[in-house]
Structure 1
């Protein structure tokens, strides 16, 4: 057989393996586990790190203030050196809407070795510990919660005995580029970290979604959160690994009551979101980058290329194998498009979206070696301490 046919065979085998052996990552039915209301509702503190979030705060903070939680709960918003009046706006929103008590703090600039977000989280946890909460809800400033979100998270954690309950917030999909790129972002994440494996006992897979993480305070202390992961750019995955590595139980699934309100209307916005941390995900390793690029090409680009090449040259075997691989790929993407309420004709376009992600990943490496690294809101983390990679293992 020709090289193109063998390549198509390998790609098809890879897709059959992904379909059946990668934790059924493509299914979207991993939602909050069955839960019962606890006899006593534990105290909870909500920690919100916020840097220059005045644009999205009016759409997110009122949803936290309005939480219908039967126990004691309060919010600590940490204004991380904002220049747009984020802290002042937060106080105004609390005065206007009422609801849960709000404290606004400021940690100052992070010391060497800390990312800005984790330094802000550390400050918020320090403030919260004075209230002796049993749980901490770590949530981003662009995340809106349904009124019963906190109640459901705590009930799930108590019922299942979880130290971490995290939900992948439903991202915004309104612009054409958001529709093309955003569902694929969650699809690729689930492929790397199958949700079913994360919640299973005895599994090593660990991940969380930083927009919504309910964390048991005792587990945070045992895992030394956030100090143990202070270098991590991909802090949610590092947090989950630290908690699971210290003996904790974690759960991650798709959200039903948690939504991101941050817009990414242009390709440039989505490109920056992905590329700022993609190379960090690869541990800044050129060999891992090369393997990732080759893997993405084999899995996502080979099927349409071999199908088209086979049709153009009369190569029936190549066209058939490439078409079958593309069909399996398309089928695994359909559940995610349905979850996001998107038209199913976007499913066959997944190879094009994957090619965009390949370019974003390469660009992330290029920016790293140019000294720009994980640039975000005026801060750059270009040369992380090696300890960061140790804590993310």
Structure 2
């Protein structure tokens, strides 16, 4: 078989892969999975908000006031758990609460994580324990310190959970896309996440797929108790997906969608910050398996890289069949990416750049594996997990 034949057949395989993805992967490319329609409950249950925070003084002034300003008719109590911060996160949180008023805020610290726990989940464990000790909250809102909520966010989450009978409702926060690198990397991050965990499959009680977005998770307290959360997932680096699996495995109904009223305020102005965000957990996503890593690299090359290569080769005098198949695959790829760009308010002509972004993600994933085998694994704010 000649090199032209190889190029043609791999371009055809890529086109077949895109047809399968678009028709058989749960409509992952659609962005209309938003909070389901609901009616307000007759009575508003108590909610405890748990915010794990480690060195978050830079973003807290943009996020914590949004929790303090929630327009929620029922009882709310906020527990900010300072996970060993060295930048005055806890003190700043107390000052913001004094300035802005709102629900009661408790700032506490659990100390260093016990053996076998990640720092975030150790903080979440402490926050949930305080919430159960000091409130009769029916729901727990687990939200990250860099997440800003619109005033009606909590009301909408609770209404949707009550109306739909969900044990867990999670929204993928709208991430920041202010810089060039953010515009290139961030929409693709959410796009790839949806490709791995199609939201419609997640929301189907009969499907095994389970996932959540850790920045915004509303969880029924009794579901947390039933699933022994977070003890049952204490070692998880990708804790949001592990949380969703634990809840769904124990019979809980879960829902995941894109957010309209929840935004991340954390900036990623340079490629280095975005690179660390992806690479710290990418190999954990592959279960630290060299075989899965090899399959992922091969899949990314065939699905994302071959189409533009086939087009370029065809335009330079290569086989017409490769040009046609590669062009069709590239067009389908760009069309599937356009809804996510539109969700982020970006230009449609950025969609053909997805192959370049996919190569960056491929390199980030390989780097994640290299870091793992060098003992630097999932590193985050001074901690490294095996």
TM-score (norm 2): 0.98
1:121 to 112, 121, 124: 124
- The 5 A counterparts of 1:132-211 are 132-211=136-215
Aligned-residue RMSD, C-alpha: 0.7
Residue matched to 2:219: 215
Partner SS, residue 19 of structure 1: helix
- The 5 A counterparts of 1:82-121 are 82-121=85-124
Residue matched to 2:19: 16
1:52 and 2:55 equivalent? yes
Residue matched to 1:241: 245
Give ranges in structure 1 of 5+ residues lacking alignment. Answer: 383-393
Residue matched to 1:75: 78
- Deviations 1:145-197 (CA, angstroms, capped at 9, x unpaired): 00010000000000000000000000000000000000000000000000011
1:242 & 1:228 partners in 2: Cα distance? Answer: 8
Residue matched to 1:319: 323
1:339 to 319, 337, 343: 343
- The 5 A counterparts of 1:211-290 are 211-290=215-294
Partner SS, residue 61 of structure 1: helix
1:16 & 1:22 partners in 2: Cα distance? Answer: 10
Give ranges in structure 2 of 5+ residues lacking alignment. Answer: none
1:241 & 1:132 partners in 2: Cα distance? Answer: 25
**How far does residue 313 in structure 1 lie from its aligned partner after superposition?**
2.7
Partner SS, residue 168 of structure 1: strand
Aligned length: 382
Residue matched to 1:43: 46
1:351 and 2:347 equivalent? no
- Deviations 1:298-349 (CA, angstroms, capped at 9, x unpaired): 1100110111112213311000100000000000000000000011111000
1:379 to 346, 363, 383: 383
Residue matched to 2:34: 31
Partner SS, residue 49 of structure 2: strand
**How far does residue 64 in structure 1 lie from its aligned partner after superposition?**
0.1
1:49 & 1:175 partners in 2: Cα distance? Answer: 27
1:302 & 1:312 partners in 2: Cα distance? Answer: 15
Deviates more, 1:3-12 or 1:83-92: 3-12
- Deviations 1:123-143 (CA, angstroms, capped at 9, x unpaired): 000000021210000000000
2:49 & 2:245 partners in 1: Cα distance? Answer: 21
1:162 & 1:305 partners in 2: Cα distance? Answer: 46
1:166 & 1:224 partners in 2: Cα distance? Answer: 18
2:94 & 2:155 partners in 1: Cα distance? Answer: 24
**How far does residue 249 in structure 1 lie from its aligned partner after superposition?**
0.5
Partner SS, residue 277 of structure 1: helix
Partner SS, residue 375 of structure 1: strand
**How far does residue 88 in structure 1 lie from its aligned partner after superposition?**
0.2
1:161 & 1:302 partners in 2: Cα distance? Answer: 45
**How far does residue 40 in structure 1 lie from its aligned partner after superposition?**
0.7
